[in-house]
Each structure stands twice: as structure tokens, then as C-alpha cells.
A and B are shown apart, each in its own frame.
Chain A
């Protein structure tokens, strides 16, 4: 039997409407479920709101604190060194302006910093600012004129201006003030500059000053690890010192120059004395040893003396404050090798072309200098500088 089309159509329409209604019902059901679930979640959120807000606040505070620390770190490690560099360069430039003579100094701190940083720094600054030796006046102590050869045509000896006792007293006072280095121009430094200019027949206003504080400020960031080795090498000019005459003293034809002094690198202990004594004895068994110990001290270091060992002589009687460093330099320059405390003249000897064995027990304050010296000296074609760690030696030596 045939169903009429009208009936078929009605059934179809009804079916379609029924299915549509079903879909709508399901959609409504789902929507209601969603709303219910959302309401449930909102209720849960409301219940946890205080905790959530607390956590969010804590997170935000921590993020702010982290950011603040990052900014401080960035300022300390990146911006501050740049600011200091700009300040130092401006100061150098300002002092160089015109044609006034420039006093480089007064150098009153350690020999090591003078040899390893100050002289190469002066070399770089003189080159950068076009300052010839005729304008530069070195102001240092101990007869170190030869160290400044090629840099300064004139040299003023500090011990011609003040007595060594006064110099030592002022140095001790500076250290007591917590200024181990010459970070700033002190009253004493100013007085030395005044006396030097008077001695040269100049008025104080007629000279400019390149104070060691400029170098100390510039390189402090490197010593603290906030400036790269490349930065140091860009602001220094390491050069081997020219060949010089043999010392006027009566010395063996071939010898090893030795200078050990107390300090943080080799504290004055019985064990260290024993090791150093044995080391000098073993060296003296092969080749004469010339000790560079002095009878006085103008700083906190004291020299070790081992002249009782056969084969060891000392230049102690020939040294006086005004010429001692110059004379020691001559003795080292004529030596086959230099062995000494890591610091002081051990940084100078390689630049004199003398292979150097730098000895230490504690390298806490030496790591950056060792790092710098090994790279810089190799680049400058200086003699070899090697190190001897007394702690390591003690571990394997038989005494």
C-alpha cells in the first residue's frame, strides 16, 4: 500500500523536529552542566581565594625581589665598572690636557702592583693620550728609575723627599685606615707631589698628576672578577724591559737570585722557614745563590735570610732605602734565574728576561694576578714565570 506524499512529508517533518528538539535538549543539558560545574569551580575558588591570593602575592613579591636583585647585580657587575672606567678615562684625559708636565705617582704601595699593573698601565696611558717621556715625571721610591725608562725622562726619588721612617709610618697609617692600596690621593701623596714639584723647580699648579689610584680603581673590577682579562690587556702595555748593565757589586759569574719575604703568600711559620731553607740549600748545592734580603722594611713584609747556607751570599750590606730596588733589579737582571715569594719582584723578573720561580703557600690573594701574569707575560715575550706551591711540596717532600 502506498503512503500518500503528504503523510510522508508530515512524518519527516515531525522526525526532523523531534531530533532537533532532542539536540536542543541535550545542548541545554550540557549548558546546564557546564554552568553547574562553573558554579562549583567558582565556589571552590572562592573557598580557596585567600590562599590563592596569598600565593599570588608571595609569587609577585618574590618576582619583584628577584628582579631587584638582578638590577642590583647588573649595576654592581656591569654598570658600575663602566662608570668607573669612564671616570678614570675622563680623569686621565683632563690631566693630560695642555702641555704641563705630568707626575706619574707617587708610588708608595707594593712593588708587585707597580711591576705587574702600574708600569704597563702607564705605558698604555702614555700611548693612548700621546704623552711622551719628556712630559712624564716618575715619582717612586727605592731607585726604581730604570723601571720607568722609556716612559718618563725624569725621576724623583721619594726617599729624597721624606725619611724612610716617615714613609713607613705613613704606609702603616694608610693600612690602618683600611686603604691597603692607594685608591685615592691622600694628604701624604699630595705632600709628596708638592715636595717633588718644588724639587724640580716647578709650582704645584704647573704639574698634572696621574695618581696610582686611577689604575687601582680601573683594575679593581678585574681583580674582583667583574672585568675580563681582555679588558686588562686592552688597558695595559706589557713590555720587556731593555737589557741593562750588570750590577756593580762583586757577584759570581753565574748565580740564582733569591728573595723570600713574609706575607699572606708565605706566612712566617717554622714549617715554611724549613721548606724555604731546604729549597735554597738544594739550589745552592748546584749554583751560587745571591739573596736579596734587606736589613730594614718600609712595609708589613719581612725578608727571610738564609746566608748561613754554604754557597749563599747576600747583598744586604750594599742595600740602602734610596737605591735598594734599583740594585736588586740589577742583581736579578744578571741572574740565571730568580726564585722568590710570589709577588713583589717576582712579577718584575720575567720582564727583565729572567726565568722566575714564584713560590707561595697560600694563593688566596694571588689567583687573579697569576691568571693575568701568565697571559700577559706570554704575550709580551717575557721570560717564563712558573709557580711552586709549598703546600704541594710539603705533601711530597721528605724532611
Chain B
């Protein structure tokens, strides 16, 4: 590398570093503005994925409250699906988003691509105002919006920030199960399963075969409780695995406003959780449940898997054993069936 190229590269690097730092200072400034004063703080509204919520948002809120010495009496959580128990150590005041807007409106937003809350939208603003009106919080209400967290950690997700940066700005702890009313009678021992089509586990026939074989193998050991909500609240569609006497499902039994609370309680009581790598599979270890997240494409998961592998053992969470099906499928092995399937040309 020539000297000129080296200096250009250094200049570019310094520029990138400067951009990262400037972004972080802006977030810090906005964060201080959001938590200043003595009035109530609406933390939310959280409308993005469950994974980001449990792996980053809630631990980030814990750090914010500790770092800025915010009493829990000031915090009002605004989330959806009955997730109040996830925030129990942060605040007892919880406002359910589905009490403020209909599921159709939220589903339409998700379908429109507004999944990650990288900025405060007019919709979020409206939800915040509705929540403060519902609780009669007065005029001096501030909003601690998820966009702060997304902006804060995005350099890590893009590889420009360190893992210790994430660790320094989060506080991960175990989560307790809620006390929700269950719509089904659960077996004494069971495995909770939730598969849905996602970029990490596409809804393709070969993958369906693997999931079917896996579910069958699991159901031979313990009854299965499938967490296919059928609510269609986001862009992911639940994958149906075969039903049978040892496979139960909550399909059609859940309401939007409590669906995550019920799923949390079912997972918390399970011997094991198996599901698409994403969503509640990031939550299950924090409930102390052994978890097997399944994926075939980890392109967008590396950073999250890295965090998860570091965090769960430290908080005494359930065993986190990711299963990359693509390796097995590449070797033409069907997981769970103890056999192979054709495809690899053999020279023998």
C-alpha cells in the first residue's frame, strides 16, 4: 500500500470514527433531554420486533434509569401484547398499545415496512399523547423513544462499535413470567415451539421438511405446544407444523393485547423452546428455559448471536443452542429423523 493510499485510508477511517462519535453525542444529547426534569417519562411506544425489545431495548432502559438515576415512579412503559412483566423491574405502570389503537392499524404499519423505529413518527407521537392522557400524566411528559436505542447501537450492528460498548450500555437480567390467564390446558411437561417464515428461516419446502421431521422427533419425547398465534400482527407468517395427539396449538385462542403475555407464560413453563431464530427465541433463555433457535441464513444474525452467547450465560439464563439447518441440509442430513435424504451425488 502506498503512502498516499495509506493516508487516504486513515482519513476515511477518521471520518468514519468522527461520524460514529458525532452520532453518539447526538443520541446522548437527545437522551439527556428525554430524561431531564422530574415529570413522567413514557418509555416507548415499542412497536418493533420482540428480539430487539428483549435483547437491547429493555436492557438499555435499565441502563438509562441507572445511569441517570431515574426513579421507577417516573417511568411509564408503552408496549404491545401484554408485555408488562418484561418491564416489571423498571416500572409498574404499563400502557397497552392495543388499548389505544386497533391491531389492523399496527399490522398495516408493519406491512408498510415501518418495523424498526429509527425515528419518532407522528404515529408514535400520537400513541405517546394518548397514553399520557389515558393515565392523566399532565403536560410535563417526556418520551424516551426506541429510536434512541436504535441509533445508539446501530454502530455495533454495522461492526463499527465494540461488544463492550453494548455491554456497558445495557443491563441484562432474567425476566419473570407474567400471571396471565391461559387459553389452553397445558400438559405437565411440554416443549414450546414457534416457527415462522423469516429471512433467517425462509418458508421453503426443504426447510419445511426439516421442521416437520424435527417437530415429529420432539413430539416423541414430550408433547408440543405450538405458539402459532395466527394474528398476523407483523410481516412474519406462522409456519404450521403437523398437528397430532401430542401437538397442541394456541391458534385462534389469543387476543392481540395479551398474546405475548400468554406466549411468555407458556414458554416459561416449558422444558424447552424451539423456534425460528428471532422473536421470542431471544426471550426464552431470559425466562430460564433451554432454547434452540433454528435458522438457515445467519447473515443478519451474527451480531445478535454474538451478544446472546455472551449475555445469557452471564445472567444464568437457559441454555442457548442455535441450530443452523443449512449445514445439515448441505450435507443432506435430516435433523431429528436419524437418517439422510438423497441429493448428494455419490461416487460409490
Instruction: Using CB atoms and an 8 Å cutoff, list the residues of chain A in contact with chain B.
Output: 73, 77, 127-128, 130, 224-231, 233-234, 252-256, 278-279, 282-283, 285-288, 311, 336-337, 339, 355, 357-358, 363-364, 367-368, 370-371, 374-375, 378, 384, 386-389, 391-393, 395-399
Are B347 and A287 in touch, CB under 8 angstroms?
yes
Residue of A with least CB distance to B325: A386
Contact A386 B159 (CB under 8 A): no
Q: Are A387 and B327 in contact (CB under 8 A)?
A: yes
Does B319 count as interface, using CB distance less than 8 angstroms?
yes
Chain B 283-341 residues near chain A, CB threshold 8 A = 290, 292, 298-299, 302-303, 305-306, 309-310, 313, 319, 321-324, 326-328, 330-333, 335-340
Provide a sorted-by-A list of 6 A–B residue pairs whose CB atoms are within 8 angstroms. A226-B162, A228-B159, A283-B340, A384-B326, A393-B323, A395-B321
Q: Is the CB of B13 within 8 A of A234?
A: yes
With A130-B1, A355-B330, A392-B292 as known contacts, state yes or no: A367 contacts B346, CB within 8 Å: no
Most buried by B among A130, A282, A337, A399: A282
- Chain B CB within 10 Å, residue with most, of A254, A286, A370: A286
Is B233 interfacial (CB-CB < 8 Å)? Answer: no
User: Given A375-B302, A399-B338 in contact, is the A388-B164 Cβ separation under 8 Å?
Assistant: no
The smallest C-beta distance from A284 to any residue of chain B, in angstroms, reads: 9
Residue from B299, B327, B344, B347 within 8 A of A357 (CB atoms)? B327
From B309, which residue of chain A is reached at the shortest CB distance?
A367
Most buried by B among A233, A288, A367: A367
Closest to B339 in A: A282
Evaluate contact between A283 and B331: CB separation under 8 angstroms: yes
Given A337-B331, A384-B330, A396-B335: A230 and B321 interface contact (C-beta under 8 Å): no
Q: Of A130, A287, A370, A375, which is within 8 A of B344 by CB?
A: A287
> Are B347 and A253 in contact, with the CB atoms below 8 A?
yes
Cα separation A112 to B304 with both chains bound (whole Å): 23
Q: Smallest Cβ distance from B66 to chain A, in angstroms? A: 11
Q: B167-199: contact bitstring with A at CB < 8 Å (1 yes, 0 no)?
A: 110000000000000000000000000000000
B250 within 8 A of A: no
A371-B347 CB under 8 A given contacts A283-B333, A387-B322, A396-B336: no
Query: Closest CB of chain A to B24's CB: distance in Å?
Result: 13
B159 and A396 form a contact (CB under 8 A): no
- Is A77 within 8 A of B322, CB to CB? no
Interchain CB contact under 8 A, B348 and A288: yes
Interface status of B345 (Cβ within 8 A of chain A): yes
Residue of A nearest to B1 (CB): A127
Contact residues in A for B162 (Cβ distance below 8 Å)? 77, 225-228, 231
B342 and chain A: residue at smallest CB distance: A286
Closest residue of chain A to B213, judged by CB? Answer: A396
B22 part of interface (Cβ distance < 8 Å): no
A222 nearest CB neighbor, chain B only:
B162
**Does B133 sit within 8 A of A, measured CB to CB?**
no
Cα of A256 to Cα of B167 in the assembled complex, Å: 40
Report if A228-B161 is in contact (Cβ < 8 Å); known contacts: A391-B319, A396-B217: yes
Return chain B residues, CB-CB under 8 Å to A368. 306
B214 touches A (CB below 8 Å): yes
Q: Give the A-binding residues of B (Cβ under 8 A).
A: 1, 6, 13, 155-156, 159-164, 167-168, 214, 217-218, 220, 272, 274, 290, 292, 298-299, 302-303, 305-306, 309-310, 313, 319, 321-324, 326-328, 330-333, 335-340, 342, 344-348
A285 CA to B1 CA, complexed, in Å: 50
A339 touches B331 (CB 8 A): yes
Provide the residues of chain A in CB contact with B272, threshold 8 Å. Answer: 395
Contact of B160 among A77, A230, A311, A386 (CB under 8 A): A230
Nearest CB on A from B31, distance (A): 17
Which single residue of chain A is at the shortest CB-CB distance from B322?
A: A389
Partner of A363, one of B309, B339, B344: B309
Contact of A337 among B220, B306, B330, B340 (CB under 8 A): B330
CB-defined contacts of A398 to chain B, threshold 8 Å = 217, 220, 336-338
Let me know if B302 and A374 touch, CB within 8 A: yes
Closest 3 CB pairs of A and B: A386-B327, A225-B163, A229-B159
When distances are taken between beta carbons in the complex, the residues of chain B under 8 Å from A399 are 338
Minimum Cβ distance to chain B for residue A32 (Å):
33
Of the candidates B163, B292, B330, which one forms a contact with A395 in the assembled complex, judged by CB atoms under 8 Å apart? Answer: B292
Tell me whether B348 and A375 are in contact (CB under 8 A).
Answer: no
- Interchain CB contact under 8 A, A367 and B217: no
**In the bound complex, do residue B331 and residue A256 qualify as a contact, i.e. CB atoms below 8 Å apart?**
yes
> In whole angstroms, what is the CA distance A231 to B162 when docked?
9
In chain B, what residue has the closest Cβ to A374? Answer: B302
Which residues of the other chain, B, contact A77 by a CB distance below 8 angstroms? 162, 164, 168
Which A residue sits closest to B296, measured CB to CB?
A386
**Residue picked from A254, A364, A371, most chain B C-beta under 10 Å:** A371
- The reply to whether A375 and B159 form a contact with Cβ atoms under 8 Å apart is yes
A371 to chain B, nearest CB (A): 4
Inter-chain CA distance A387–B329, complex, in Å, is: 11
Q: Is the Cβ of A371 less than 8 Å from the Cβ of B306? A: yes
Chain B residues lying within 8 Å of A229, measured Cβ to Cβ, are 159
Q: A367 vs B348: C-alpha distance in the bound complex, in angstroms?
A: 38
Residues of A within 8 A of B321 (CB): 389, 391-392, 395
A367→B331 CA distance, assembly (Å):
23
- Residue picked from B319, B331, B338, most chain A C-beta under 10 Å: B331
Query: Complex Cα distance A399/B346, Å?
Result: 25
Partner of A282, one of B274, B302, B340: B340
Residue of A nearest to B164 (CB): A225
Q: How far is the CB of B186 from chain A (nearest CB, A)?
A: 20
Q: How far apart sit A224 and B167, CA to CA, in the bound complex (Å)?
A: 11
A73 to B164, CA, bound (A): 10
Whether A225 touches B167, Cβ cut-off 8 Å, given contacts A233-B159, A367-B306, is: yes
- Are A287 and B160 neighbours in the complex by a CB distance under 8 Å? no
Known: A364-B313, A368-B306. A224 touches B322 (CB 8 A): no
Distance in angstroms between the alpha carbons of A253 and B348 in the assembled complex = 9
Q: How far is the CA of A374 from the CA of B217 in the complex (A)?
A: 30
The reply to whether A397 and B346 form a contact with Cβ atoms under 8 Å apart is no
Question: Inside 8 A of A357's CB, which chain B residues have their CB?
Answer: 327-328, 330-331
